[in-house]
Amino acid sequence: MPKNEINIRDLLRLAMIPGIGANRLRALVSHFGSPTEVLRSSPRELVHVEGIEKKLASTIAHHPNDGEAADDQLSLLNKVNGHILTVWDDEYPDYLRRIYDPPPVLFVRGALLPADKFSIAIVGTRTPTAYGKLIAERFARELAEKGLTVVSGLARGIDTIAHQSAMKANGRTIAVIGSSIDIIYPPENRKLVEKIETGESGAVVSEFFMGTKPDPGNFPRRNRIISGISLGTLIVETAENGGAMITASTALDQNRELFCIPGNITEKYSAGANKLIRDGHAKLVQSIDDILSELEPVLRPILKTSATKPEIQLTAFEQKLFDILSTDPMHIDTIAERAEFSTSDTLVNLLSLEFKGIVKQLPGKLFVRM
């Protein structure tokens, strides 16, 4: 349906009528061709649409909707410089359009681009371990460097790290939230939202009307958009009853790829990912290559054109230290002992490696490979 056939104000008027959910809204607009025509229709015409009974048809036809509520929505949207995409627009995310229950209306801050169809969701616990933080940062950064858009839910923990790491790599990220786009949750991520929506960094997306608070019931619906907009979902760390398990379930229901980082069997927040791997629902991944190889047929256009990462030149001292390091945190004294360097020389060269982006320092004078 051409975009100019959708009158956004009339679409909001229709969507805000009690009893009109997402499925009925899509059915009505598809049947009549536009929300304007739906609002002009009689009860006798409306009942021909599947799911529209006589009582609801009468409510639609006689609802005293003068558009004030819709105008309030548009005013709030304008205050955050947002815009609306509908499922009938060409710019609407194609993979999201293909799920069973795509949101008919998306409220957007920033911009969704055609290249965002090459996207991977990264989700996990709000309270990650040091290992989980490191892995989320690395995978988000490396996927972004390959030209993939990183999708997550703006929650504390893994989600926030995924968004930040993608942008730090000059990549794009999409934050799908469980409130309206004018009520950012958690509040400490407001500055992160500002960074996402500026320039070419990405978009903040919600299906909820302006002024909607982050109620618990909103997040399962949010999660289906996270997985639905993405080619696949990567679970980093989650408990067996964690919210990321809902995203895993929606990804499987949508016939999307599911990837999991294996974790320590004694860690509570590894239990969910380990269970998904054990039960054969998810592919165990140890590097982004495991994801890229699985999705290679779809990702071929960007993998062929992605720039080759320039080789990092290391001194002999830096190379020796880098060879000693691994993804397991190691104390500087242990590193110095194995390298047979003084602690001061070891620290200087480790900081040089950190500056080059291939080593990361953790609290407690611990260092890991990136």
**340, 341, 347, 352 alpha-carbon torsion, rounded to 10°:** -100
Confidence of residue 199 (pLDDT cuts 50, 70, 90): confident
Percentage, residues of the chain above pLDDT 90: 76
Average pLDDT of the chain is 92
Quick one: pLDDT at residue 308?
Answer: 47
Quick one: pLDDT at residue 4?
Answer: 42
With 80 as the cut, is the pLDDT of residue 64 above it? no
Count of C-beta atoms within a 10 Å radius of residue 329: 19
Quick one: pLDDT at residue 313?
Answer: 84
Tokens of 324: 């000693």
Q: What global pTM score does this model have?
A: 0.82
Confidence of residue 287 (pLDDT cuts 50, 70, 90): very high
Quick one: pLDDT at residue 98?
Answer: 93
316-369: which CATH number, 1.10.10.10, 3.40.50.150, 1.10.580.10, 3.40.50.2300? 1.10.10.10
Domain 109-305: which CATH class?
alpha beta
How open is the CA angle 220-225-228, to the nearest 5 degrees? 120
Domain ranges of the chain: 3-75, 109-305, 316-369
Give 238-247 pLDDT, tens digit per residue: 999 999 999 9
What backbone phi and psi angles, to 5 degrees, belong to 53?
-90, 170
Quick one: pLDDT at residue 300?
Answer: 85
Count of C-beta atoms within a 10 Å radius of residue 7: 16
Between the alpha carbon of residue 261 and those of residues 119, 136, 171, 194, 264, the distances in Å are 18, 9, 22, 30, 10
Average pLDDT of span 210-215: 96
CATH architecture of 3-75: Orthogonal Bundle (1.10)
With 70 as the cut, is the pLDDT of residue 257 above it? yes
Give 127-156 pLDDT, tens digit per residue: 999 999 999 999 999 999 999 999 999 999
Distance CA 89, CA 176 (A): 19
Rg, Å, the chain Cα set:
24
Give 312-367 pLDDT, tens digit per residue: 888 888 898 999 988 778 899 999 999 999 988 899 899 888 888 888 888 888 88
Quick one: which of 42, 44, 46 has its CA closest to 25?
46
Average pLDDT of span 68-84: 95
Alpha helices in the chain (DSSP H): 8-15, 22-32, 35-40, 43-46, 54-62, 68-79, 94-97, 130-145, 158-168, 190-197, 218-228, 243-253, 271-278, 288-294, 296-305, 316-324, 332-339, 343-355
Confidence of residue 5 (pLDDT cuts 50, 70, 90): low
Confidence of residue 307 (pLDDT cuts 50, 70, 90): very low
Quick one: pLDDT at residue 306?
Answer: 53
Between the alpha carbon of residue 272 and those of residues 133, 249, 251, 282, 338, the distances in Å are 16, 12, 15, 11, 36
Quick one: which of 139, 89, 94 has its CA closest to 115?
94
Distance CA 115, CA 102 (A): 20
Average pLDDT of span 256-264: 95
With 80 as the cut, is the pLDDT of residue 279 above it? yes
Confidence of residue 210 (pLDDT cuts 50, 70, 90): very high
With 90 as the cut, is the pLDDT of residue 114 above it? yes
How open is the CA angle 124-141-172, to the nearest 5 degrees? 90
Cβ atoms of residues 189 and 179 within 8 Å? no
Quick one: pLDDT at residue 327?
Answer: 74
With 50 as the cut, is the pLDDT of residue 1 above it? no
Cβ atoms of residues 153 and 159 within 8 Å? yes
With 60 as the cut, is the pLDDT of residue 90 above it? yes
Confidence of residue 3 (pLDDT cuts 50, 70, 90): very low
- 105 forms beta bridges with 86
